[in-house]
Structure 1
Amino acid sequence: MKTFHCDACDALAFFENVRCMTCSESLAFVPAVMDICTVRPNDQSAEPGQFTSGDEKVSGQVFRPCRNAADHEICNWVLAADDPHEYCESCRLTRTIPDLSVPGNLQLLQKMETAKRRLTFTLMSLGLPVFGKDVDPVRGQVYEFKVDLSAEGGEPVLTGHDEGVITMNLAEADDAERERRRQKLNEPYRTLIGHFRHEVGHYYWDLLVQESKWSEACRAMFGDEREDYEEALKKHYENGAPADWPNNFVSSYATMHPWEDWAETWAHYLHIVDTLETAAACGFALMPSRVNEPSLSLIDEDEPSASVFDVMIDRWIALTYALNSLNRSLGHPDAYPFVLTPPVIEKLRFVHDVIADAATSNGQHGEVIETLEEAATA
């Protein structure tokens, strides 16, 4: 994710900020310009709760807060004053929320929506189509955040995807509960944003790959998705992953079924592009000591023909080496506990090609892809 600045004092701001910590100006995210902007009450309007901004990018425009900001203070995105929707572009993708009268649920919902806004920002930055079932009941995406009541005799809630409906167990927003599940399932990595990235990968497989020009190539790369899913799931949990899975898959769960291999690879692609953009925006210059070591070297500046994807992978390997080394120096587990083998890299390349093609077809190029292209030709 790129860095943000207060347009009043130029201080750094986080994506979630509602106020500048330096000059105390109110801040909000404006999707139309994909940026954090200052907002001030619109004194010229008879309508209460409307804002204008001192940011020249949106000079003269009038905004109002997302209803989730007005009602629950859990959103910092705004809408155009004349937008017919009550909720912002991210919040209106949510269809089901938990009972907020139950203590703790509002805080967990806030974590869910915060992670979803980060995901939505990345999808929009990549130039991918982002629309809800209110726009297209068949092809749109929608989120349902539910409480697992199985301990009380109710139905369990399984995080998953089904025809554009992404269901998230609210417990995944509880750090302690998520860590308990991570250890129980012997997973090296389990995060809330990781769940969102994985499940939306299933959605984009339906939207971009199924019965498209990519379908046969996808089967050749990931396997035949027509394989019985329930049988594959049963087999995976009875027998586990093959012993040699690290040679060809990014995670053991990816071995379960071609759909899961795609979704896991998609999630890792989003991990890569978002983290690399953040590192670049923060001015990181990765200079590994052993520059002649292929696994650590950055892109060769004498090779201008290198593809955007090749630049990404070279810099990602260098960045994760640094991140993991820093974590180990502090006594923490690896920040990115995965190994990208050549077969996994080719799967990531396939996801990259599908996304780039979708952005072009969507009439966009994608800010993230543009940033990476600039790096490739630097």
Structure 2
Amino acid sequence: MRRFSCPTCANEVHFRNSHCITCGSELGYLSESDRIMAAPSGSGRWEDEGAVWHACANRQAIGCNWLVEGGRLGAAEADVPLAGSLCLSCRHTLVIPDLSRPENAERWAMLEEAKRRLFYSLVKFRLDVGDLQAGPDTALRFEFKADELSADGSKRRVLTGHENGLITINVAEADDPTREKHRKAMGEPYRTLIGHFRHEIGHYYWDRLVADGPALAECRRLFGDERADYADALARHYDEGAPPQWQATHVSAYACAHPWEDFAETWAHYFHIVDGLETAGWYGLEGLGQGVDPMDRAAPGWAEAGPYGADEFTPLAKAWVPLTVAMNAMNRSIGLSDFYPFVLSDVILGKLAFIHRLIHAPR
């Protein structure tokens, strides 16, 4: 994530901010140009170079600060607020939780904030999310649902998962104590909302970028044959756990369950690395990268777009590993658990390099 400043007063603002606390300007994020825009307080209009934008329809409900294009200045449609129009991220959510339950409003807002961070990365990687109008069955879609009590008192649970482009997330994951309880029960060192999103879209992009394509053979060589029975593999994993020494070949214990899960876990981890390096670079922490500066556009392997546009994966790994060592040491110095509870073996780095090539391959 990059750093942002208020266009009006130059005070630092953050990706989620809807207002500048210094000058009061209304802020809005333009995903297509990766910038924060300012509007006079209360105007509800953002104008620049003859174009006009309006707030996402979810701005008041969940604090979404993304903008929706409203046409050109002087045109009739530009003078009419786009009531009900949703931003790129929000319009891919098809189902929201029951807002008559007080806790669900906050949970929905937290889920959408994490999803906007996901879409920030998808836009920077130029990954296609599909067309909800022309191809609704192949577009990336989201449903946020809560467990329900049946008439007999039993609970109908919502499982977080992916099926044919539709990602379902149980809104209880947005409750910190609940998510922590699940993390401990599953023996996981890491469990976050953004992690869920990045993992589940890994399944979506396996279908879009790997299945029946030229990358399939190499994917099977690295991750295993996905034709192995998925239900049997999961049952065996939950019954027996990960095999001994799994850390040498898999980024997480759950990645051992099935080749699809290995791919999704590795895909999510690649997103962690790239977005983490972009953040580090913008905050001046790039010096930890063994002489590789994520913000140095002339460094070998880097493209104009920084970590998101790196030509090769090797410079990313060289910058990331020492950064995580330092961050772990920082956490320990103030009594916290490790910031980065992972070990990247050569095998895992090879899988991450495959994800890098897959994302940046010409399409």
Matched residue of 2:247: which SS?
helix
Correspondence 1:140 to 2:129: no
Which range moves more in the overlay, 27-36 or 9-18?
27-36
Letter of the 2:201 counterpart: V
1:253–1:261 contact (8 Å) kept in structure 2? yes
- Structure 1 equivalent of residue 307 of structure 2: none
Residue equivalent to 1:351: 355
Are 1:286 and 1:318, in contact at CA under 8 Å, matched by a contact in 2? Answer: no
CA pair 246-73 structure 1, distance change in 2 beyond 3 A: closer
Task: Determine if contact 1:157/1:169 at 8 Å carries over to the other structure.
Answer: yes
Contact 2:223–2:259 (Cα < 8 Å) also in 1: yes
2:64 aligned to which of 65, 69, 75: 75
Aligned to 1:52: 46
Q: Secondary structure at the match of 1:81?
A: strand
Give matches, 1:203-214, under 5 Å: 203-214=204-215
- TM-score of the two chains, using structure 1 as the length reference: 0.85
Q: Which amino acid aligns with 1:346?
A: G
Unpaired segments of 5 or more residues in structure 2?
Answer: 72-76, 303-310
Question: How far apart are residue 150 of structure 1 and its match?
Answer: 5.5
Deviates more, 1:197-206 or 1:16-25: 16-25
Match of 1:112 in 2: 111
Shift of 1:149: 2.0
Mapped contact 2:4–2:12 kept (Cα < 8 A)? yes
Q: Residues 335-359 of structure 1: CA distance to partner in whole angstroms, max 9, x if unpaired?
A: 11000000000000000000001xx
How far apart are residue 132 of structure 1 and its match? 4.7
Q: What SS is found at the alignment partner of 1:24?
A: coil
The answer to whether the 8 Å contact 1:298/1:318 transfers is: no
Deviation of residue 196 (structure 1)?
A: 0.4
Residues 184-195 of structure 1: matches in 2 within 5 Å?
A: 184-195=185-196
Measure, in 2, the Cα distance between the counterparts of 1:24 and 1:250: 44
In 1: Cα distance, 2:299 partner to 2:68 partner: 44
Q: Secondary structure at the match of 1:67?
A: coil
Give the residue type in structure 1 aligned to 2:141.
V
User: How far did residue 41 of structure 1 move?
Assistant: 7.0
Shift of 1:32: 2.9
**How far apart in 1 are the matches of 2:290 and 2:191?**
28
- Which residue in the other structure is 1:262 paired with? 263
Structure-2 separation of matches of 1:283 and 1:14: 16
The answer (yes or no) to whether the contact 1:160–1:168 under 8 Å persists in 2 is: yes
2:290 is equivalent to residue 297 of structure 1: yes
1:326 aligns with 2:330: yes
Are 2:52 and 2:70, in contact at CA under 8 Å, matched by a contact in 1? Answer: yes
Structure 2 residue identity aligned to 1:74: G
- Determine the C-alpha separation between the residues in 2 that align with 1:303 and 1:2: 19
Alignment correspondent of 2:343: 339
2:239 & 2:281 partners in 1: Cα distance?
43
Is the Cα contact below 8 Å between 2:62 and 2:108 reproduced in 1? no
Q: Deviations over 1:17-69 (max 9, x none)?
A: 01112222110111232211102379xxxxxx75034xxxx333211111111
Distance (whole Å) between structure 1 residues aligned to residue 236 and residue 221 of structure 2: 22
Q: Distance in 1 between matches of 2:191 and 2:172?
A: 13
> For the residues of structure 1 that align with 2:145 and 2:284, how far apart are their CA atoms?
39
Question: What's the CA shift string for 1:302-350, capped at 9, x where partnerless?
Answer: 9947963111001100110111110010100111100000000000000
Equivalent residue runs for 1:146-225 within 5 Å: 146-149=145-148, 152-225=153-226
Amino acid at match of 1:67: A
Q: Which amino acid aligns with 2:339?
A: A
State how many pairs are aligned.
340
The reply on whether 1:309 has 2:313 as its aligned counterpart is yes
Instruction: Indicate the residue corresponding to 1:366 in structure 2.
Output: none
Provide the identity percentage. 43
- What RMSD in Å do the two structures reach over aligned CA positions? 2.2
Structure having greater relative contact order (Cα 8 Å, sep ≥ 6): 1
Aligned counterparts of 1:335 and 1:214: Cα–Cα separation in 2: 33
Distance in 1 between residues matched to 2:300 and 2:59, nearest whole Å: 46
> Which deviations, in whole Å up to 9, do the C-alpha atoms of 1:116-162 show, x marking residues without a partner?
00000111111111235334123211000000126842421110000
1:356-371 map, 5 Å: 356-357=360-361, 360-361=362-363
| Inter-partner Cα distance in structure 1 for 2:282 and 2:141 | 31
Contact 1:19/1:25 (CA < 8 Å) preserved in 2? yes
Instruction: Identify if the C-alpha distance between structure 1 residues 64 and 341 changes in structure 2 by more than 3 Å, giving closer, same or farther.
Output: same
Change (3 A) 1:297 1:64: closer
Spell out, residue by residue over 1:239-260, the C-alpha distance to the aligned partner (whole angstroms, 9 max, x if none). 1110110110000000000000
How far the C-alpha of 1:113 sits from its partner, in A, is 0.2
Q: Deviations over 1:199-258 (max 9, x none)?
A: 011001011111111111111110000100000011001111101101100000000000
Q: Report the CA distance between 1:89 and its aligned residue.
A: 0.5
2:27 corresponds to which residue? 27
Cα distance between partner residues in 1 of 2:52 and 2:203: 37
1:62 counterpart SS class: strand
Does the alignment pair 1:90 with 2:84? Answer: no
Pair 90,147 (structure 1): closer, same or farther in 2 beyond 3 Å: same
Structure 1 residues 280, 156: CA separation in 2 closer, same or farther (over 3 Å shift)? same
Change (3 A) 1:305 1:93: closer
Matched position secondary structure for 1:29: strand
